[in-house]
Amino acid sequence: MKTFNITGEPITIEQCYEIAESGAKIELSCEAEENINRCRATIEKLMAEGRTIYGVNTGFGKLSNTRIRNDEAESLQKNIVISHACGVGNPLPPNVVRMIMFITVLRFAKGHSGIKPETVKTLIEMLNKGVVPVVPEKGSLGASGDLVPLAHIALVLIGLGEAEYNGDTMSGADAMELAGIKPVVLGYKEGLALLNGTQVMNALGIYALTEAFKLYKTANVSTALMMEAVKGCMPAFDKRIHEIRPHKGQISAAAEVSSLLVGSKNVGKSEHIQNPYSLRCVPQVHGATLDALHYVKGVLETELNSVTDNPLIFPDDDDVLSGGNFHGQPLALALDFLAIALSELANISERRIEQLVNPQLSGLAPFLITNSGLNSGMMIAQYTAASLVSENKIYASPASVDSIPSSANQEDHVSMGSISARKLNTIVENVRNVLAIELMCAAQAIDLSDTADGLSPQTAKVYKAIRQRVPILDKDRTLYPDINEIASMIKHGELML
């Protein structure tokens, strides 16, 4: 994608992700610019009439009853930006910041925020010329949206703060000057419009969800590879079982694993008539995760196409309404749900790893290494997987059940949705590494069980791809490079079939 024309009409998560990753140029359509102009004209008209409008000629939060003179409007909007930019922690990745900025423009294009067209165009110019604000990851309560991180983006827009430009970190003023962009002077409501909203948790959620679909696919692949290694039983994947408990994800997971094993000469050759739960119940466990992914996708896509600042302007009615669309609860709940669902992919994967490394369960060489005792083989790889699974149990605890009042109790219930999003991305990384360990162990088990010649065409592709990058373990060596290599393959979608 080279150019994307923003019209104010809905877009998909896939489009949003592609734009953020590809560096596509952004354009504002005539329709979107008209939406923005009409809304701005309404604000100007209402101010000329002497209306009192929250955040436009009043203070913010608990200070909403403090009236601000019209000649102080610019100072008011600048002050909210500089006072709210108090984030801490590591910077968010540049691609995430780019997506946050893009979602911000999408919302303004719908024409309910009251921002000037020139300000929106400057934000687009920053995107197109590669000025990426440095945004600390911590500080958002998730209502009034992601105030703190969004303030760090707005800082650069007005020539302050820090930014990355051409790979270097510098002052926001220098980045804007080098890119040939003139910083904006904020007018009525603009600082508030730039800071209110759920763009940060939305963007982090979209990135996590995109990776989550890869992890789901990879988990099915690793299951199929393990089925080959242990010559597992196929009845548990028979579609007749799943048709009489017709959860969509369960049916899909069973069909996907079955498809991967078509043509295998290994499966069904075991003397056991039942697989352990970590194999037998894959359709039910992986399938439930898939159902969760689709639910979360619906929430994130709805939010992507929503207007979430405050107050909101309705030009057709000459009205301004103060509400709570900035509250991140829909996202917080969904992202916590996704954290739980992804954690389960790692939980069951670690149990499959144990099935392979434990000789009492697998019938193979202890810890998948010949001359065990002298060699520890994959023993400690299972430790690492267990450690990651245990860590996920902490991160899967919901942030959305917590709330700490702020702004002198005016903002007395908040979502903590940004925390939900950040810990979810940690879980994504942990699950990727657990699956990498399972794939590493499954490939090793295939070599030890002499089942490589009987692999299905699909699992053979995966096995060969792994062996091209990670050789068989014939004696102890450092394993972390192997885990990292396979994790990289997962991240880049190289093991999805």
Among residues 364, 335, 352, 488, which one has the least CA distance to residue 422?
335
Say if residues 278 and 434 touch (Cβ distance below 8 Å). no
Distance in angstroms (rounded) separating the CA atoms of residues 16 and 483: 30
Residue count of the chain, please give it: 497
**pLDDT tens by residue, 12-58:** 999 999 999 998 999 999 999 999 999 999 999 988 888 888 878 88
Task: Catalytic residue, from 54, 188, 207, 395: name it.
Answer: 54
Whether residue 191 is predicted with pLDDT greater than 80 in this model: the reply is: yes
For the record, the structure tokens of 226 come out as 């393990």
DSSP letters, 205-246, are HHHHHHHHHHHHHHHHHHHHHHHHHHT---GGG-HHHHHTS-
Percent of the chain at pLDDT exceeding 90: 87
- Mean pLDDT for 308-326 is 93
**pLDDT tens by residue, 61-71:** 777 778 888 78
- Mean pLDDT for 303-310 is 96
Domains and CATH numbers, the chain: 3-197 (1.10.275.10), 204-491 (1.20.200.10)
pLDDT recorded at residue 67: 82
Residue ranges with strand state E in 407-494: none
- Mean pLDDT for 128-134 is 98
3-state secondary structure of 198: coil
Whether residue 270 is predicted with pLDDT greater than 70 in this model: the reply is: yes
For the record, the structure tokens of 211 come out as 């990776």
**pLDDT tens by residue, 425-467:** 999 999 999 999 999 999 999 999 999 999 999 999 999 999 9
Q: What is the pTM of this model?
A: 0.95
**pLDDT tens by residue, 199-219:** 999 999 999 999 999 999 999
pLDDT recorded at residue 192: 92
Say if residues 8 and 35 touch (Cβ distance below 8 Å). yes
Say if residues 306 and 107 touch (Cβ distance below 8 Å). yes
Strand 136-138 versus strand 88-91 pairing type:
antiparallel
3-state secondary structure of 407: coil
pLDDT recorded at residue 370: 92
DSSP one-letter code for 197: B
Distance in angstroms (rounded) separating the CA atoms of residues 283 and 352: 14
Percent of the chain at pLDDT exceeding 70: 100
pLDDT recorded at residue 313: 95
Distance in angstroms (rounded) separating the CA atoms of residues 44 and 31: 20
pLDDT recorded at residue 274: 86
pLDDT recorded at residue 1: 63
Distance in angstroms (rounded) separating the CA atoms of residues 7 and 33: 8
Residue with tokens 């300000």: 119
- For all residues of the chain together, what is the average pLDDT? 95
pLDDT recorded at residue 201: 97
59 — pLDDT class (breaks 50, 70, 90): confident
277 is catalytic: no
284 — pLDDT class (breaks 50, 70, 90): very high
- Mean pLDDT for 97-111 is 97
Among residues 393, 312, 398, 275, which one has the least CA distance to residue 54?
312
